[in-house]
Amino acid sequence: MFTGIVQAQGKTVGIEPVGGFVRLRFLTSLDLSDVEIGDSLCVNGVCLTLTHLNLNQAEFYADVSPETVRVTTLGALSIGSTVNLEKALRLGDRLGGHIVSGHVDCVGTIAEKRSVPPGFGLAIQVPSDRYVIEKGSVAVDGVSLTVNRVDQNKFWVMIIPHTSIRTGLTQKKIGDRVNVEFDIIGKYIEKFVSKEKKDSGLTEQSLREYGFI
């Protein structure tokens, strides 16, 4: 589990096919002294398992499955690509952002970019805005952000200077792809409501009459 508060960035220095997997190697300034092989690390919003650590050279390896390559942007990384990194949350840590699982829901596309001094506004196109609400939370390339506006499968977020420096999101260009994870709470609520609706036999009309939707 993660919070969407990026702790450091890493540079992709190795990409190697291993069987049906892709082995990635990263260099980073992130303090890795308190993690071990087998621990989870969030890389551009994707939860990966550390398979090798070299603390002397501040590097780590992670294997990416074919499914992860298919549903995220990690398969598009190249040598020199920069990634956002966050270590797994520990019980008792501050939850500075929001609950992020590292399980990407979809790949979004930067549709618009506006300078809004002192920051930037980004519009991200997604296949569906089903779980996106104004003033709600969303993780974009592992960064916890607040949704400012939702409009027909597109949502706007504001990037303050600090976030820009730490994550490089404002370096994204129109057409660039990003990993998007919607707020997990909304997905659970939908599951519970749909199950209750099915078990109770309530129709959508009756739910509206009762004021539930």
The pLDDT, as a whole number, for residue 202 is 57
Q: Are residues 54 and 115 in the same domain?
A: no
* Tokens read off for 112: 């618009």
The pLDDT, as a whole number, for residue 92 is 86
CATH number at residue 53: 2.40.30.20
How many angstroms separate the CA atoms of 161 and 166, rounded? 9
Identify whether 64 is part of a domain. Answer: yes
φ, ψ of residue 37 in degrees (nearest 5): -60, 130
The pLDDT, as a whole number, for residue 192 is 81
Q: Are residues 119 and 170 in the same domain?
A: yes
Q: What is the β-pairing status of strands 177-182 and 106-116?
A: antiparallel
Cα distances from 4 to residues 44, 51, 152, 178, 187, in angstroms, run 10, 22, 25, 14, 18
Last residue of a domain, one of 27, 53, 87: 87
Identify whether 95 is part of a domain. Answer: no
The pLDDT, as a whole number, for residue 207 is 57
The pLDDT, as a whole number, for residue 13 is 97
Is residue 140 within 8 A of residue 157, CB to CB? The reply is: yes
Identify whether 198 is part of a domain. Answer: no
Is residue 161 within 8 A of residue 76, CB to CB? The reply is: no
Identify whether 140 is part of a domain. Answer: yes
Tally of structural domains, the chain: 2
The pLDDT, as a whole number, for residue 68 is 96
Identify whether 213 is part of a domain. Answer: no
The pLDDT, as a whole number, for residue 108 is 98
pTM of the model: 0.89
Identify whether 157 is part of a domain. Answer: yes
How many angstroms separate the CA atoms of 66 and 211, rounded? 44
The pLDDT, as a whole number, for residue 212 is 55
Per-block mean pLDDT, blocks of 10 residues, the chain (213 long): 96 94 96 94 98 91 96 97 96 89 97 92 96 96 97 96 94 97 89 68 60 58
Q: 153 lies in which domain range?
A: 106-185
The pLDDT, as a whole number, for residue 91 is 83
φ, ψ of residue 57 in degrees (nearest 5): -110, 10
- The neighbour count for residue 54, using CB atoms within 10 Å, is 12
Q: Are residues 20 and 76 in the same domain?
A: yes
